[in-house]
Amino acid sequence: MRLLSLLALVSSFTLWDAQGEEKPNFVVILTDDQSWVGTSLQLDPEDPSSKSDYYQTPNLERLASMGVSFTDGYAPAPFCCPTRRSLLIGQTPARHLYQKNQKSWPAKYRKQLSIPRMLKAAEARYATAHFGKWDSRFDGVSPEEMGYEVSDGKTGNATGGGKGSGGPAIAEDPKLIAGITSRAMAFMEKQVAAERPFYVQLSHYAVHLDIFYSKEAMARAEARSPGKKHTMAAFAAMTDDVDSAVGVVLEKVTSLGIKDTTYIFFLSDNGGRKALPKAPEAALPLNHPLRDGKGSVYEGGIRVPFVVAGPGVKQGVVSRVPVTGLDILPTLADLAEYQKPLPDSLDGGSLKAVLRGGDTVIRTKPFLIFHQAVARKAQSAIREGDFKLVKNWDQKRVELFDLSNDRSEARDLSLTMPEIRKDLEGKLNEFLADVGAETRKTTSKDKQKISVAP
């Protein structure tokens, strides 16, 4: 009997580090094209327009009640692929995706410190998995090459019913939401049984077009009245389905008895679309009160729902600290007690202090950079404090906004505040030059051949 007890003690100790502290688990839920106002979670308590006037996401609301939701949460980029790469390695796309050395950077990218590699270095027993949309469309870098043990492979938009697949329509497993979630839950069960800490990322294809949904979700959507900005029942149903998957995760964490050791992150890969095919006419833009949408570095293209819950995280708190998907890797490193110095190339910072009630994120630079070119319209933005500068390279236009009182970016202050404009534009230009970022879109005359998926 004493031998069995000793073996049980040794087995349980494998989840603990040298200081006797249990290593935490991490779950990242990444949705696709979900607008800052694409849920029923009111992200700003003082602004009723900071949520959908039609879509219902009770499970995301529940997650927010368990942790911290951010009024100023950002995706690293206004498009899918660059955000997913950036989240994995904590670097702005200006450093790696749309660079001048488009043909040679993949080899360097494969060597970057990634979330799974970092966790493995922090604790060799960490199990890591990625399920759903991978979207490494330019060079075919695989999840395994970046350190994942388990994955769905080199998936993309088409895998999950992307544009051209049909719809709006009922589907048995709309946007593969159930399959992604089922595989993730099985992975979690296996690691808990093996007493291994884990990281699992659920990268949903929803709510990217095309639109597919369950019969039950559509019935719930059709029972409600459309809003002034959100009017399409089919899209509401698809949103409902992916929110139901969030509920499955929350229930599983509780049933497995790991709620006190598991952090859950929720965010979208970019802002919402500006238009939905076949949607009834609306009185307000889809992303109201934000300007523009997916593909743009205005707030509508990069500001997204962002929620974190877990052990030690303040519950039911709303934070106005600007945060980004770039912060996830350094946050996990902090929480997992990664011992080595993080690379200087990381553009994110640890959110640990903010999650525990603080108001500051320490990053290598005191600003956030958003940038794209080459395969997309060349545009950049920099945010420092409440001020944000937007630069359109092709049109040679620079705009300045004070987001503290102009979230809609309706009032350009570039002429009335020339010193602030000069300061921010200088910092933006210097940063892009330092990382060798391209500042123009590739033309047909260029030798580079770049394939861009819809």
Domains of the chain as residue ranges with CATH: 22-355 (3.40.720.10), 368-435 (3.30.1120.10)
pLDDT in tens, 181-240: 999 999 999 999 999 999 999 999 999 999 999 999 999 999 999 999 999 999 999 999
Q: What is the pLDDT of residue 447?
A: 44
**Both ends of the chain: CA-CA distance in Å?**
62
Q: What is the pLDDT of residue 62?
A: 98
Average pLDDT value for residue range 74-88: 96
The closest alpha carbon to 240, from 303, 174, 294, 183, belongs to 174
b/e 370-398 (16+ beta carbons within 10 angstroms → b)? bbbbbbbbbbbbbbbeebbbbbbbeeeeb
Residue 171, pLDDT > 80, answer yes
Residue type, 424: L
Distance CA 401, CA 211 (A): 35
Q: What's the per-residue H, E or C state across 142-174?
A: CCCCCCCCEECCCCCHHHHCCCCCCCCEECCCH
Q: Which residue has the tokens 């849920």?
A: 39
Residue 15, pLDDT > 70, answer no
Residue 440, pLDDT > 90, answer no
pLDDT-derived band of residue 453, with 50, 70 and 90 as boundaries? very low
Q: What is the pLDDT of residue 139?
A: 74
Q: Is there a contact between 242 and 177 (Cβ–Cβ < 8 Å)?
A: yes
Tell me which of 36-40, 109-113, 281-285, 426-430 is least confident.
Answer: 109-113
Average pLDDT, rounded, for the chain? 92
pLDDT-derived band of residue 1, with 50, 70 and 90 as boundaries? very low
pLDDT in tens, 259-269: 999 999 999 99
Tell me the CA distances in angstroms from 435 to 77, 90, 227, 364, 429, one per residue in order. 16, 14, 44, 14, 10
The closest alpha carbon to 174, from 241, 112, 98, 253, belongs to 241
% the chain with pLDDT above 70: 91
Angle among Cα 109, 205, 351 to the nearest 5 degrees reads 60
- Using DSSP's 3-state secondary structure scheme, residue 39 falls into coil
Residue 51 in tokens: 């949520």
Residue 359 in tokens: 């108001």
pLDDT-derived band of residue 109, with 50, 70 and 90 as boundaries? confident
pTM of the predicted protein model = 0.94
pLDDT-derived band of residue 375, with 50, 70 and 90 as boundaries? confident
Residue 8, pLDDT > 50, answer no
Which backbone phi and psi does 58 adopt, to 5 degrees?
Answer: -65, -30
pLDDT in tens, 265-296: 999 999 999 999 999 999 999 999 999 999 99
Q: What is the pLDDT of residue 78?
A: 97
Residue 41, pLDDT > 90, answer yes
Q: Beta 212-213 vs 198-203: how paired, if at all?
A: unpaired
Residues pairing with 402 in the sheet: 387
Average pLDDT value for residue range 350-366: 96
Q: Which residues contact 332 (CB under 8 A, 6 or more apart)?
A: 26, 115, 118, 119, 199, 263, 338
pLDDT in tens, 304-351: 999 999 999 999 999 999 999 999 999 999 999 999 999 999 999 999
Q: What is the pLDDT of residue 10?
A: 37
Q: What is the pLDDT of residue 101?
A: 61
The closest alpha carbon to 195, from 126, 253, 148, belongs to 126
Residue 244, pLDDT > 70, answer yes
Q: Is there a contact between 116 and 146 (Cβ–Cβ < 8 Å)?
A: yes
Residue 12, pLDDT > 60, answer no
Which backbone phi and psi does 238 adopt, to 5 degrees?
Answer: -65, -40
Average pLDDT value for residue range 21-46: 97
Q: What is the pLDDT of residue 33?
A: 98
Residue 105 in tokens: 């950077």
Q: Which residues contact 37 (CB under 8 A, 6 or more apart)?
A: 43, 49, 50, 51, 52, 229, 272, 287, 288, 289, 290
Distance CA 233, CA 238 (A): 9
Task: Burial-class residue 243 by CB neighbours within 10 Å (0-12, 13-18, 19+).
Answer: buried
- Using DSSP's 3-state secondary structure scheme, residue 32 falls into coil
The closest alpha carbon to 295, from 33, 78, 98, 84, belongs to 78
Distance CA 304, CA 271 (A): 6
Q: Is there a contact between 32 and 294 (Cβ–Cβ < 8 Å)?
A: no
Angle among Cα 332, 118, 84 to the nearest 5 degrees reads 70
pLDDT-derived band of residue 100, with 50, 70 and 90 as boundaries? low
Residue 438 in tokens: 């391209």
Average pLDDT value for residue range 169-190: 98
Query: Where is pLDDT greater, at 39 or 449?
Result: 39
Residue type, 395: Q
b/e 323-359 (16+ beta carbons within 10 angstroms → b)? bbbbbbbbbbbbbbebeeebeeebbbbbbbbbbeeee
